[in-house]
Structure 1
Amino acid sequence: MADFGEILRNIGEFGLFQKINLIALCFPNIIQSFSLASLLFVEFDPDRHCNTDWILSAGPNLTTEEQLNLTLPREEDGSFSRCRMFVPVDWDIDAIRENGLNETSGCVNGWVYGNMLYDTTIVTDFDLVCDRGNMVQVLQTVFMAGMVLGFLIFGPAAESFGRKRATQIPAVMMLVFMVTTAFCPNVYLYLVSQFLAGIAFGGYRVNCIVLTTEWIGASKRSWGVGVTQLFGAIGQCVLAGFIYGIRKWRLAQLISATPLVLTVVYIWFIPESARWLLNRGRTEEAKKLIIKAAAINKRPIPDSLLEEIKVTNSVNEGGIKLIFGSRLLTRYFFVVSLAWFSLNISIFSLYFNMANLGLSIFVTQLLFGVFEVPALLLSMWLLEILGRKILFTAVLLIGGLCSMLILAVPESYPTASTCLAVASRVCMIFMASVCAVYMQELFPTSVRQSATALGSMAGKVGSILAPLLNMLSVYHWAIPISVLSSVTIISGALGLLLPETRNKELPETASDAEGNRARVGAHIPEGLCALEECCDVSRPPGGSLSLCYWS
């Protein structure tokens, strides 16, 4: 019987068919980087004062300075209040000048903004200042919550309805809700639209990774995840220049949605995962796609190989319960999920706080993107050279230490803080590829998508908590960095519990997944291992076998 790994070796593990499929599915990830633009490129505390034009009806010839002196109270430092005003009165201008105004209230007619870095932002359009100042963090959290729900909905849906359908629907949703977000008249509709957009982005992200990976052979499997991340990094670089040139958030939102029109057209022609079709017992459909892939890759495929295709048909193998029905798979899941959580809370905590790192937000954004590109290219190479386990542990430890070192940098050295933040973020982006690859390789086909979705969901829980964690800086600026650094370092240490999966075929069944146990390198005499197949390794030169650990 020929398993799918053998079929890929015959038709090409990473030929033209896989490359076209990969680029087509990854292209929307450039736009996904823009999805946070309206949430990120804001001025949290812009220069402002209450709108007091009411007094102009009494004194139309007042200068701006006179208007502010008569209508705004002053703070202890002598500056005009940014959140308070004198209560309007129905007096003439001479009476106001003679008696003055004493009773104050909040800004009843909105604010007047000045010295803005942008023309318009959601802060200025929706007046998210003063007592509504924390609303930006709430909006960030709601978007991330939408992504979590997207993982939860479209991850398991892909197991039942296919990887293709669970990718197409979110693609359409992304276009629709990026457009509706640009036209929201108030913050409440904006919140709903961003939540639905988050569902779409989460659903697409998790499914496009699995759909590409299941068509790629073991020798290039990390490329499926790496290129997906790479397109996102390119989007980060483009985003810095894009927002620098277009400083109106509604216009930026609409322009960002334009390329998705192309995606919505071609996404219907993306092939289904043949591995999933075989897993569902739909052999004839899988054969047609395999023949098509072989033709595009210009590789002959023997008829005898098609006749010997192994149909796993593990639909009823246990579903998502399979993950938690095995102590071994449960351990793998929680270790990788915790790492995914820690890297996301680090990435987004630093990302949403980059305006406070000291350098220009545009420069910091560009650095975040520029350094991610070589990091992701390096990750695709090192994953195949060094393997998964050593990178999992080392990168998390290095990233956590870089974050922790920010605490030791004085505020007078913003460049040093920014460099450490960029280094930590690069490590975490690198780590995202490792986590995604690990999830593909540790779990069988019947629950691979669900495991990936749940792991991604754990990551997005970290994203949700990131803006809330940043709010703790009001108690002490070091609290957010201390928490995210500690969690990251702990996650790296737990990576020692994972097995190495480099150059192994994707597991099709639970028993295959359990066979991906870690093996120690010490060799023992041949007689101590009764059955060679118990260790799932080839006999090395010299006639000895590696010692195996069993549950």
Structure 2
Amino acid sequence: MANTTPLLSQPNSAESESTPPPIEKHHPSLDSSIERYIGDFGWAQFFQILLLSFAWLFDAQQTFISVFTDAYPTWHCTSHQLGCNSVSNICYIPKNSWAWDWPSYTSIISEWNLQCSSSIITGLPASSFFMGCVVGGLVLATLADSSLGRKNMLFLSCLTMSLSSLLTVFSTNIWAYSALRLVCGFGRATIGTCALVLTIELVGKRWRGQVGVIGFFFFTIGFLSLPAIAYWNKGSSWRSLYLWTSIPGILYSMLVHFFVCESPRWLFVHGRKEEAVAILKSIAPPSHSGGSTLSFSEVSFEQVTWHNGNVYSAITMLMQKKWAFKRLSPVMVIAFGIGMVYYGMPLGLGNLPFNLYLSVTFNALSEIPSSLFTILLIGKLNRKFSVLAFTTISGIFSIMCALKGKECTRLQIGFELVSFFSACSAFSILLIFTIELFPTSVRNSATSLVRQALVFGGVFSPMLVAAERRNGISSYMVFGLVIGCCGLFAACLPETRGRALCDTMDEEERRESSLQCGGDVLA
């Protein structure tokens, strides 16, 4: 009689075939584990973000301080001989026929007799500052990803910027002054980047866009404080502006050193798990402060551990990985165009037929609605379309500033404000866009490179503005054409709205590959 026992019960095969195959254990990702701790928003996180955001205030002050210290002073005729009143350039009339409206020490132009110097010389200090930002970004940015971390890099950058600003008070000529502005820019290069990246890495995905924009508010406050400080010191030496902005910056650096937390993501990536968990416990909302330690013990750390090379490994990876380079290049081009407008327009306000203090104040105030717009709508904004739209609008209105005619002259300050508002909005969205495009292991380096492209655009702005004072070349026309053309590169980037942050290049590369194969992993 045939054996009716099912095959699976055969003695030789039953043990091996009746036992269900082992279920593969899926370790929680680092991102999901961190979300359990700090997905909600608590007071400890708010304190950290508030403290970090102050870095933007001092950043803004040093970025735009030359609008007042390097301003071309007003003058008046002391003699009506040789048609003094009909001449707009004092280099064409005798020195004894005119005088400055204010004491010569109120500006470097009048103190060092630079009124007839070339635009390269008069624009050198501001250009040196932006060139220092570019060099500093390239040299220092990757240290925040590799050896120093976000917090230590922020502390050293703030301290270097503030100390060099304080030493600027003792400048005796344009060359020493330009050299110190170069050092100031070098130190300043990574302040905004470290503050922004650290802020976003201390909160969950839900709050990423909102807290990122808080720093832009403080940048606005710093920008807005300059005309107030300058007006308060009206008639005083330009050196007083550096004193009033550098000393608070030094004190703030000490606060960063003692009270700011390091990024738990950065600590995890570098294998410092105990420190990361301790920081997460200290900043987590009370309801999450003690219940999620198990999730970190299960994280597969071979997936997130940093493989240490030299300090420039992060930049090397960004250049070698094809997908990363295809993202980094367009973002840097867009940033260059935005930088021409963002840094150039405030420097060119002295060329408009409008009160300098009021025009700088209006520009600073225009950043507030820009930040509000971004913080309220960042969760709903399509990154690609928003960057493209705002750069286009900025370019159009910047070109309109260059139009001649009586009616256009009256509307120039309005056109300038719309263009600057649009550039500010594009800048805010682009920085958040960049953070979402790159993983933790290279995020600070990528964001810093983008910011250096932004300030590299600012390198050319002072010279264009100075040249316009002499031969009427419209810097605003150039600004508009550059930002409009560069903004078109947004079409080359993938959309990132609503996606989770990756922590390693491999993780991001797998996501990129899945996307190219039609996967819906970015949702």
- 2:16 equivalent to 1:3: no
**In structure 2, C-alpha distance between the alignment counterparts of 1:79 and 1:497, rounded to whole Å:** 51
Aligned to 1:31: 58
- 2:487 equivalent to 1:501: no
Aligned to 1:122: 108
Q: Could you say if the C-alpha distance between residues 80 and 149 of structure 1 is closer, same or farther in structure 2, counting changes exceeding 3 Å?
A: closer
Identity %: 21
- Matched residue of 2:172: which SS? coil
Q: Could you say if the C-alpha distance between residues 197 and 258 of structure 1 is closer, same or farther in structure 2, counting changes exceeding 3 Å?
A: same
- 2:45 equivalent to 1:18: yes
Match of 1:432 among 427, 432, 439: 427
Q: Could you say if the C-alpha distance between residues 37 and 519 of structure 1 is closer, same or farther in structure 2, counting changes exceeding 3 Å?
A: same
**Residue by residue, what CA displacement relative to the aligned partner does 1:516-551 show, whole Å, maximum 9, x if unpaired?**
55999xxxxxxxx9x99x43267xxxxxxxxxxxxx
Aligned to 1:266: 255
**In structure 2, C-alpha distance between the alignment counterparts of 1:416 and 1:294, rounded to whole Å:** 51
**Residue by residue, what CA displacement relative to the aligned partner does 1:19-59 show, whole Å, maximum 9, x if unpaired?**
2111111113222222245521144264279xxxxxxxxxx
**In structure 1, C-alpha distance between the alignment counterparts of 2:163 and 2:298, rounded to whole Å:** 44
**Contact (CA 8 Å) 1:409, 1:417: kept in 2 or not?**
no
**In structure 1, C-alpha distance between the alignment counterparts of 2:334 and 2:483, rounded to whole Å:** 7
- 2:241 equivalent to 1:252: yes
**Contact (CA 8 Å) 2:499, 2:522: kept in 1 or not?**
no
Q: Superposition pairs for residues 11-410 of structure 1, below 5 Å? A: 11-13=37-39, 14-36=41-63, 38-41=65-68, 42-44=70-72, 46-47=74-75, 74=82, 82-83=90-91, 113-116=99-102, 120-131=106-117, 134-161=120-147, 162-247=149-234, 248=236, 249-269=238-258, 270-294=260-284, 299-311=289-301, 312-316=304-308, 319-408=314-403, 410=405
**In structure 2, C-alpha distance between the alignment counterparts of 1:127 and 1:503, rounded to whole Å:** 55
**In structure 2, C-alpha distance between the alignment counterparts of 1:315 and 1:111, rounded to whole Å:** 69
Give the aligned length.
486
- Matched residue of 2:106: which SS? coil
- Matched residue of 1:319: which SS? helix
**Higher mean C-alpha deviation, range 389-398 or range 27-36:** 27-36
Structure 2 alignment gaps of length 5 or more? 1-26
**In structure 1, C-alpha distance between the alignment counterparts of 2:297 and 2:509, rounded to whole Å:** 28
**Higher mean C-alpha deviation, range 229-238 or range 126-135:** 126-135
Q: Letter of the 1:47 partner, please give it.
A: W
Q: Letter of the 2:33 partner, please give it.
A: I
Q: Could you say if the C-alpha distance between residues 438 and 519 of structure 1 is closer, same or farther in structure 2, counting changes exceeding 3 Å?
A: farther
**In structure 2, C-alpha distance between the alignment counterparts of 1:160 and 1:28, rounded to whole Å:** 21
Cα shift at 1:216: 2.1
Aligned to 1:446: 441
Cα shift at 1:424: 0.8
Q: Superposition pairs for residues 443-482 of structure 1, below 5 Å? A: 443-473=438-468, 477=472, 479-482=474-477
Q: Could you say if the C-alpha distance between residues 537 and 480 of structure 1 is closer, same or farther in structure 2, counting changes exceeding 3 Å?
A: closer
Q: Letter of the 1:137 partner, please give it.
A: G
Cα shift at 1:8: 3.5
**In structure 2, C-alpha distance between the alignment counterparts of 1:502 and 1:261, rounded to whole Å:** 37
Structure 1 alignment gaps of length 5 or more? 50-63, 87-106, 521-528, 539-551
Aligned to 1:57: none
**In structure 2, C-alpha distance between the alignment counterparts of 1:386 and 1:399, rounded to whole Å:** 18
Cα shift at 1:165: 1.4
**Contact (CA 8 Å) 2:55, 2:195: kept in 1 or not?**
no
**Contact (CA 8 Å) 2:104, 2:111: kept in 1 or not?**
no
Cα shift at 1:368: 0.6
**In structure 2, C-alpha distance between the alignment counterparts of 1:413 and 1:392, rounded to whole Å:** 27
RMSD: 3.1
**Contact (CA 8 Å) 2:393, 2:419: kept in 1 or not?**
yes
**Residue by residue, what CA displacement relative to the aligned partner does 1:352-374 show, whole Å, maximum 9, x if unpaired?**
11112221111111111112111
Q: Could you say if the C-alpha distance between residues 360 and 479 of structure 1 is closer, same or farther in structure 2, counting changes exceeding 3 Å?
A: closer
**Contact (CA 8 Å) 2:399, 2:480: kept in 1 or not?**
yes
- Structure with the bigger percentage of helix: 2
Q: Please, what TM-score do these two structures have when normalized by structure 1?
A: 0.80
**In structure 2, C-alpha distance between the alignment counterparts of 1:173 and 1:489, rounded to whole Å:** 35
Q: Letter of the 2:414 partner, please give it.
A: C
Q: Could you say if the C-alpha distance between residues 490 and 451 of structure 1 is closer, same or farther in structure 2, counting changes exceeding 3 Å?
A: same
**Contact (CA 8 Å) 1:111, 1:127: kept in 2 or not?**
no
Q: Could you say if the C-alpha distance between residues 112 and 78 of structure 1 is closer, same or farther in structure 2, counting changes exceeding 3 Å?
A: closer
Cα shift at 1:139: 1.0
**In structure 1, C-alpha distance between the alignment counterparts of 2:106 and 2:512, rounded to whole Å:** 55
Q: Could you say if the C-alpha distance between residues 119 and 516 of structure 1 is closer, same or farther in structure 2, counting changes exceeding 3 Å?
A: farther
**In structure 1, C-alpha distance between the alignment counterparts of 2:367 and 2:292, rounded to whole Å:** 42
**Higher mean C-alpha deviation, range 204-213 or range 335-344:** 204-213
